[in-house]
Structure 1
Amino acid sequence: MAKRILEGLGKQPGAGRVPRTTARRGARGRRVHISKADENIIRTIIEEWSRPEMGWEDVVEAVEQRLGRNWTRQALGSHSKIKLAFQHKKEELKNAKLGRKLRRSRVDADYQRMAKFTQDIGEVVEGLRKRIEILEARFARWRHNAYLHRLTVEQLDAPLQENDRGRTD
């Protein structure tokens, strides 16, 4: 059956194949990669977006109008800076539509939490260092007093005596 369908299409070049995309290509027929300069321009386009709604298709059209190149949304979204700018602007538009203030991103909250945790750990470490200094000074004092009273290491290491309080077990 498939053979009959293909025969019905005739002998046209490319007959029966999926049509190629109409994306513009470079001088040698290859897709044009997004350079750092293009990436910055695309981010600017997204950040300066003035329409109330935005989608990847809209961004692709705006980029094609401004730069004269046609990239897919997947190509644009594969660049993390472009993707973050898109997500941030999309959230900003959503919040503006609902009349809310812009929420801080989760990354900012995680960063602040980690910074506070690091600061707290630093304070604990500093407190422990001071405690160690105090204990080392006390140990040096005890060692000196033990030397003055002619106590031996065996006497210092002797186990504590149990208190006999007159109880029977």
Structure 2
Amino acid sequence: MLPLTEQQLRSSFVNASQRERKELTLPDLAQVRWDDIDYLGWRDRKQPAVGYVVAQIDGVPVGVLLRQADGRMRSRPQCSWCDDVHLPNDVVFFIAKRAGKAGRNGNTLGTLVCAEFQCSANVRKRPPTAYIGFDVEAARQQRMDALREHVQAFVRRVQDGD
């Protein structure tokens, strides 16, 4: 992912009000390892139920404000973005208000995502060798590509508001 500035991040959110953009708590951008992530995701330190995701859509950063849904899962869910079946972390259900008129009318989208947005690290782990001759690096690359596609598809659906 390409490095982003504070101003780029704040202006990228398609489903947040001006006030929400102004008040959002940013991560320490100097500590972000931009080459090792497929999207930027973080939780708000001041509001633990709030999360933020910024993805590159056609070279432009598009941000989505998420809220963690109340309640507990009966069984351990799988992240719908990284599809990792051996998750070392929790997965939670996030809800995003849609952009534009649809969002103002209360329309939302939900998704199951790693609780602290660890998807980029999960897909970069070395997968187990499935069979003799299995191309581990190709499998890792395929997982990274799939993660980017899943995140971008979700962000586009929020952005389109349809």
TM range (shorter): under 0.3
In terms of fraction of residues, the more helix-rich structure is 1
TM-score normalised according to structure 1 size = 0.20
